[in-house]
Amino acid sequence: MRIVLSAARLCLVLLAFAAAGGARAKVFSPTVTTLSNGLQVVVIENHLAPVVTQMVWYKTGAADEDAGHSGIAHFLEHLMFKGTPTVGPGEFSKIIGRNGGEDNAFTYYDYTAYFQTIKSDRLELIMKLEADRMQNLALTDDQVYPERDVIVEERRQRIDGSPEARLVEALRYALLVNSPYGRPAIGWEQEMEKLTTADAIAWYKKWYVPNNAILIVVGDVKPEDVKALAEKYYGPIPARPVPERARPQIAPLPGAERRITLRDPDIHQPSFSRYYIAPNFSAKTRKEALALEVFDEIFGAGDTGRLYLALTVKTKVATAAGSSYDDTAVDPVAYSIFASPAPGKDIAAVEKGVDAVIESLVKDGVTEAEVTDAKTRLEADAILARDSLDGPAHAIGEALTTGQTIDDVENWPDEIAAVTRDDVNAAMRKVFGKDAVSATGWLLPMQGTKAPMDAVEAANKAPVASGAFR
Amino acid sequence: MRGPMRGPMMPFGRLFQLVAALALLALPAKAAFQIQKVVSPGGIEAWLLEDHRIPLMSLNFTFRGGAALDPAGKEGLAVMTAALLNEGAGSLTATVFQKELADKSIALNYGADFDNFSGSLKALTRYRDRAFDMLALTLTKPRFDPDAVERVRNEMITSIATNIGSPNWIARRTLMETVFAGHPYARPANGTVASVRAIGLADMRQFLKNRFGRDQLLVTAAGDITPAELGASLDRLFGGLPAKAAPFSIPEVSAEAAGKTVTVVRGTPQTIITLAEAGMERKDPDWFAGQIVNYALGGGGFNSRLMEDVRGAGAKKGLSYGFSSALTPYAHSGLMLAGGSTKNATAAEVLDIVKTEFGKVHRDGITEAELRDAKIYISGSFPLSLTSTERLSALLMQLRVNDLGIDYLDRRDGLIDAVTLDDAKRVSQRLLDPAKLTTIMVGQPQGFDKAAEAPAKP
């Protein structure tokens, strides 16, 4: 059984899309233009089905929020559906649905993106709608404040009601000291509750301009048609200056070991996690990041990685073990490790096992054969990733909103091919070696450091008949 | 964000999956897709969508008969057997087998639900031959090495221990045990700690012997493979299996516990509300009328009434991140489901709003405009998900599992168009009686008195 790929891993695979046989192909071979107002337009053809996806990515997200205003980036994302002078509140999604399409949006630390998927003959409709709300959003209190209740409910549903998510929130805050990546992307509840209509309008005016956006169109379309429609609908929107993305840097606090234990009555199965500060795909650390991507394949791949083989196949202290590399970001972020103790095994034994794998790697490094195999896999996964519509759009959008260029994306296969064993070992030792900065999390039941199997078994027998019901 | 959770570091979005999507997706429209029927020299049939633009292909195969057939006390047998089939076969131990799959980027997976035991393969054309060899080995010579068996058993037990405190899992299990009491669908397909511990090697071998028969086998494929290549491969893959599987039958069942409310008290900040009553099987002649009514009620995201009622802007709204509904079919039953969550203080209010909306549609049906919008969406959104070979192959498998016919894609739009307002009203009366809803609440719901647990106002 394979461990589910994390977001970061998946993006890596999508980015990998390339290199069929002999000479290494470029990654997406997109058609790229920039309108006179600064809007970057990227088109990728895919004619498998008569369908098109439009995405507009803004280079702003939760990490751009001012202290005290956490949650505003995500709040505005919700409010972008509340109408313009020509499209009523909530009408946007209704129009898409009435045309047989689907739409949604998402916010993360470095970007906010909006997308629609629809029959390809409706491309003009969705471009007209998206361009309209890029410039004409009209917000009123009676629309804004009920939506603020919605985002607070969303936080309750996704964070407060989930011990796993609460531990991740606490670990990021402990590790990413002084960095906006240490705050929750959805915001702190007490700050979300105080966000105002004026805050939302100010955020919109500050960041939502064509020169701060990327339009990505993927599907059964011709690049020249897309360009003409983009000129028609997005072209007239005036550019405005956008502030620098001022980002306080992480204060690493060397030597300060951080450990967080979260106990919760809903937890019966302990789990181990650890986050390390790691380089990102900025120009300065790009080479290290590429080497770490190869390393991640060797170390954390489900069923075949060093961690899985050591912890679940050999010593059998865990039933799952893997890693995730959050590399596509404006600033350095996190490399994370997770593992679940096997029934009857103590979480301390799992941590010891993880440490042993890391120690041996730091001491002896990875092997030449491991590097070759990992690179071969990344290359082949690349072709598999072409078999998708939204994958390429996500990969390009994430790259371009976090300081990379189209050339960076297109040259990725050549750069991966050039990674050497020495590169991998050097990058790995920088993350895990003597200067490592990490935060370790233990998620535990109310008592002890193992799964209480007797209690699990009892609760498992017949939930409906148990005493917990009234 | 719609779509599956991507883990704790996923971006936050406007809406994500609200009701566990056990439902088969609404099936497709226009045949921009030419399905070919391929019959092997040995008589094994497969449906194929040929497309050579990307050098890879996807294959799906299903044996009818799944976890509902697990022996009492051995729940989890079908799922555990499935998990072990790619853990080593022939002379290849699990580690060697998995490494070769990874090195060649071959995706080979098995799974089981209540009604079916299924496998899927995706491989680059350059590794296709080897992928077929490895698949054939899993079908005829799975190893079941003791190490792999214990590892998978522990993985299943860990996963039960993880789930058992999860409020969503509790809501789901409680619902299934309540509405399907006494039927195999009430039992957990992933087993219990005790049942997973009780499963032995002989059970798994016997399971395969019973289930793997060519008379219960369905095969589909999509991508870079010709009919001739597929035809020849079918005998190589499945020709070695017995002609007939062991006979089996699962009784038909309708949702029980109409009007009953079960509350599971948990210390969470929200109450998860799940509602269910008898739904439809996929073969029901009113299937699309049901889909249309469901879209208007709660299946259409921001285009549906329940979302507008509990989330839309205006006075007394913003009560929830979302509320949705779905028609979930099984081979021998079907459920009309609705669900969402809200802070504990507004649980009673939200439940009342939702039941009242059920009551309105039950009494009056849907409007002309809702009928039109739902038809456009259900027809038009069909091709949106068909953007990869694995999705195309999986779609063909849905057509086969549900006996919809090879010409179904050509007929689908017509079936949707034919639904009238009267049909929608008839189906609303059948599916949406608020008095028949079973209510499951997990959390610390507030605002209830005795009367609130009685059936909602008509």
Residue A56 maps to a domain: yes
Distance CA A337, CA A365 (A): 18
Is the confidence at residue A74, as pLDDT, over 80?
yes
A157 and A262 belong to one structural domain: no
Pick from A47, A101, A153: which is nearest to B320 by CB? A153
Taking an 8 Å cut-off on Cβ atoms, the answer to whether B388 and A98 are in contact is: no
Q: What is the pLDDT of residue A153?
A: 92
The residue-averaged pLDDT of B3-12 equals: 32
Name the pLDDT band for B46 (thresholds 50, 70, 90): very high
Pairing of strands B56-64, B116-124: antiparallel
Name the pLDDT band for A105 (thresholds 50, 70, 90): very high
Taking an 8 Å cut-off on Cβ atoms, the answer to whether A107 and B383 are in contact is: no
Q: What is the pLDDT of residue B144?
A: 97
Encode pLDDT of A218-259 as tens digits: 999 999 999 999 999 999 999 999 999 988 889 999 889 899
Dihedral pair phi/psi, residue A157, rounded to 5°:
-70, -40
B451 at interface of A, judged by CB pairs closer than 8 A: no
Least confident of A188-192, A215-219, A456-460, B222-226: A456-460
Residue A244 maps to a domain: no
**In A, residues 365-394, which contact B (CB 8 Å cutoff)?**
373, 376-377, 380-381, 383-384, 386-390
A392 and A438 belong to one structural domain: yes
Quote the percentage of chain A above a pLDDT of 90: 76
Taking an 8 Å cut-off on Cβ atoms, the answer to whether B14 and A105 are in contact is: yes
B393 at interface of A, judged by CB pairs closer than 8 A: no
Quote the percentage of chain B above a pLDDT of 90: 83
Give the SS3 label for residue B270: strand
Is the confidence at residue B423, as pLDDT, over 60?
yes
**In B, residues 348-377, which contact A (CB 8 Å cutoff)?**
373, 376-377
> Which residue from A minimizes the CA distance to B49?
A48
Neighboring chain A residues of B107 at a CB cutoff of 8 Å:
384
Is the confidence at residue A467, as pLDDT, over 80?
no
Pick from A99, A164, A312: which is nearest to B8 by CB? A164
A185 and A83 belong to one structural domain: yes
Rg (CA), chain B: 23
Quote the percentage of chain B above a pLDDT of 70: 90
More confident residue, A278 or B54: A278
Give the gap in angstroms from C-alpha B285 to the nearest C-alpha of chain A: 23
**In B, residues 166-185, which contact A (CB 8 Å cutoff)?**
166-167, 170, 173-174, 177-178
Name the pLDDT band for A391 (thresholds 50, 70, 90): confident
**B219: number of CA atoms within 13 Å, CB side?**
24
More confident residue, A262 or B258: A262
Q: What is the pLDDT of residue A464?
A: 47
Q: Are B264 and A469 in contact (CB under 8 A)?
A: yes
Give the gap in angstroms from C-alpha A36 to the nearest C-alpha of chain B: 31
* Residues of A annotated catalytic, as ranges: 77
A210 and A330 belong to one structural domain: no
The residue-averaged pLDDT of B318-337 equals: 95
Distance CA A233, CA B237 (A): 54
Name the pLDDT band for B450 (thresholds 50, 70, 90): low
Rg (CA), chain A: 23
Distance CA A313, CA A1 (A): 13
Encode pLDDT of B371-405 as tens digits: 999 999 999 998 888 888 999 999 999 999 999 99
Pick from B109, B161, B194: which is nearest to A269 by CB? B161
Dihedral pair phi/psi, residue A238, rounded to 5°:
-70, 145
Mutate: best of B30, B158, B309, B453, partner A, most A CBs <10 A: B158
**In A, residues 223-252, which contact B (CB 8 Å cutoff)?**
none
Pick from B313, B320, B384: which is nearest to A117 by CB? B384
**Separation of CA A178 from chain center:** 21
Q: Is the fold of B36-238 the same as that of B261-381+407-453? A: yes
Neighboring chain A residues of B321 at a CB cutoff of 8 Å:
150, 153-154, 157
B390 at interface of A, judged by CB pairs closer than 8 A: yes
In terms of Cβ atoms closer than 10 Å to its own Cβ (0-12, 13-18, 19+), residue B364 is exposed
Encode pLDDT of A20-73 as tens digits: 333 456 678 899 999 999 999 999 998 888 999 999 999 999 999 998 999 999
A226 and A350 belong to one structural domain: no
Is the confidence at residue B315, as pLDDT, over 70?
no
Pick from A146, A304, A309: which is nearest to B317 by CB? A146
A37 and A186 belong to one structural domain: yes
Q: What is the pLDDT of residue A258?
A: 96
Give the structural domain span for A218: 7-20+28-233
Taking an 8 Å cut-off on Cβ atoms, the answer to whether B270 and A161 are in contact is: yes
**In B, residues 45-84, which contact A (CB 8 Å cutoff)?**
51, 53-56, 83
Q: What is the pLDDT of residue A384?
A: 74
Q: Are A271 and A277 in contact (CB under 8 A)?
A: no
Q: What is the pLDDT of residue B21?
A: 31
Q: What is the pLDDT of residue A26?
A: 67
Residue A98 maps to a domain: yes
Neighboring chain B residues of A269 at a CB cutoff of 8 Å:
158, 161-162
Taking an 8 Å cut-off on Cβ atoms, the answer to whether A153 and B266 are in contact is: no
A469 at interface of B, judged by CB pairs closer than 8 A: yes
Q: Are B56 and B123 in contact (CB under 8 A)?
A: yes
Q: Are A120 and A51 in contact (CB under 8 A)?
A: yes
CB proximity list for A410: less than 8 A, separation 6 or greater = A26, A27, A28, A29
Name the pLDDT band for B458 (thresholds 50, 70, 90): very low
> What is the average pLDDT value for chain B, to the nearest integer?
89
Residue A294 maps to a domain: yes
A202 and A66 belong to one structural domain: yes
A45 and A137 belong to one structural domain: yes
Taking an 8 Å cut-off on Cβ atoms, the answer to whether B264 and A93 are in contact is: no
A218 and A159 belong to one structural domain: yes
DSSP state of B271: E
> Which residue from A minimizes the CA distance to B103?
A377
**In B, residues 238-277, which contact A (CB 8 Å cutoff)?**
262-270
Greatest alpha-carbon pair distance for chain A in Å reads 68
Quote the percentage of chain A above a pLDDT of 70: 92
Give the gap in angstroms from C-alpha B20 to the nearest C-alpha of chain A: 15
Is the confidence at residue A465, as pLDDT, over 80?
no
Pick from B124, B193, B318: which is nearest to A456 by CB? B193
**A20: number of CA atoms within 13 Å, CB side?**
12
Name the pLDDT band for B314 (thresholds 50, 70, 90): low
In angstroms, what CA-CA distances link A143 with A78, A80, A189, A210, B318? 11, 11, 20, 25, 10
Encode pLDDT of A317-365 as tens digits: 999 999 999 878 888 889 999 999 999 999 999 999 999 999 999 999 9
Q: Are A177 and A251 in contact (CB under 8 A)?
A: yes
**Separation of CA A150 from chain center:** 22
Encode pLDDT of A250-307 as tens digits: 999 988 989 999 999 999 999 999 999 999 988 889 999 999 999 999 999 888 999 9
Taking an 8 Å cut-off on Cβ atoms, the answer to whether A4 and B7 are in contact is: yes
Neighboring chain A residues of B301 at a CB cutoff of 8 Å:
93, 97
Encode pLDDT of B80-107 as tens digits: 999 999 999 999 999 999 999 999 999 9
Taking an 8 Å cut-off on Cβ atoms, the answer to whether A100 and B379 are in contact is: yes
Q: How many C-beta atoms lie closer than 10 Å to residue B407's C-beta?
A: 11
| Domains: count for chain A | 2
Is the confidence at residue B258, as pLDDT, over 90?
no
Q: What is the pLDDT of residue B457?
A: 35
> Domain with A196 in it: what CATH number?
3.30.830.10
Name the pLDDT band for A206 (thresholds 50, 70, 90): very high
What one-letter code names the amino acid at B321? Y
What one-letter code names the amino acid at B140? T
A44 and A179 belong to one structural domain: yes
Q: What is the pLDDT of residue A330?
A: 87
Tokens of B15: 């809406």
Q: Are A392 and A44 in contact (CB under 8 A)?
A: yes
Name the pLDDT band for B74 (thresholds 50, 70, 90): very high
Q: What is the pLDDT of residue A458?
A: 82
More confident residue, A465 or B311: B311
**CATH topology assigned to domain B261-381+407-453:** Cytochrome Bc1 Complex; Chain A, domain 1 (3.30.830)
A178 and A272 belong to one structural domain: no
What is the SS3 string spanning chain A?
Answer: CCCCCCHHHHHHHHHHCCCCCCCCCCCCCCEEEECCCCCEEEEEECCCCCEEEEEEEECCCHHHCCCCCCCHHHHHHHHCCCCCCCCCCCHHHHHHHHCCCEEEEEECCCCEEEEEEEEHHHHHHHHHHHHHHHHCCCCCHHHHHHHHHHHHHHHHHHHHCCHHHHHHHHHHHHHCCCCHHHCCCCCCHHHHCCCCHHHHHHHHHHHCCHHHEEEEEEECCCHHHHHHHHHHHCCCCCCCCCCCCCCCCCCCCCCCCEEEEEECCCCCCCEEEEEEEECCCCHHHHHHHHHHHHHHHHHHCCCCCHHHHHHHHHCCCEEEEEEEECCCCCCCEEEEEEEEECCCCCHHHHHHHHHHHHHHHHHHCCCHHHHHHHHHHHHHHHHHHCCCCHHHHHHHHHHHCCCCCHHHHHCHHHHHHCCCHHHHHHHHHHHHCCCCCEEEEEEECCCCCCCCHHHHHHHHHCHHHCCCEC
Distance CA A301, CA A305 (A): 4
Q: What is the pLDDT of residue B7?
A: 28
Give the SS3 label for residue B446: coil
Neighboring chain A residues of B51 at a CB cutoff of 8 Å:
48
Neighboring chain A residues of B387 at a CB cutoff of 8 Å:
46, 48-49, 51, 219, 388-390
Q: Which residues of B324-333 are buried (b: 16+ CB within 10 A; e: fewer)?
A: bbbbbbbbbb
Pick from B102, B174, B318: which is nearest to A377 by CB? B102
> Which residue from B minimizes the CA distance to A303?
B98
Name the pLDDT band for B32 (thresholds 50, 70, 90): low
Neighboring chain A residues of B10 at a CB cutoff of 8 Å:
7
Encode pLDDT of B213-242 as tens digits: 999 999 999 999 999 999 999 999 999 999
Pick from A48, A340, A470: which is nearest to B51 by CB? A48
> Which residue from B minimizes the CA distance to A111?
B11
Mutate: best of B12, B138, B272, B368, partner A, most A CBs <10 A: B12
Neighboring chain A residues of B50 at a CB cutoff of 8 Å:
none
Taking an 8 Å cut-off on Cβ atoms, the answer to whether B54 and A387 are in contact is: yes
**In A, residues 88-107, which contact B (CB 8 Å cutoff)?**
89-90, 93-94, 97-102, 104-107
A39 and A113 belong to one structural domain: yes
Domain spanning B36-238: CATH superfamily: Metalloenzyme, LuxS/M16 peptidase-like (3.30.830.10)
> What is the average pLDDT value for chain A, to the nearest integer?
89
Domain boundaries, chain B: 36-238, 261-381+407-453
Taking an 8 Å cut-off on Cβ atoms, the answer to whether A266 and B167 are in contact is: yes
In angstroms, what CA-CA distances link A180 with A189, A213, B167? 16, 21, 31
More confident residue, B92 or A457: B92
ipTM of the complex: 0.87
Pick from A7, A153, A309: which is nearest to B7 by CB? A7
Taking an 8 Å cut-off on Cβ atoms, the answer to whether A100 and B380 are in contact is: yes
Q: What is the pLDDT of residue A302?
A: 81
**In A, residues 161-180, which contact B (CB 8 Å cutoff)?**
161, 164-165, 168
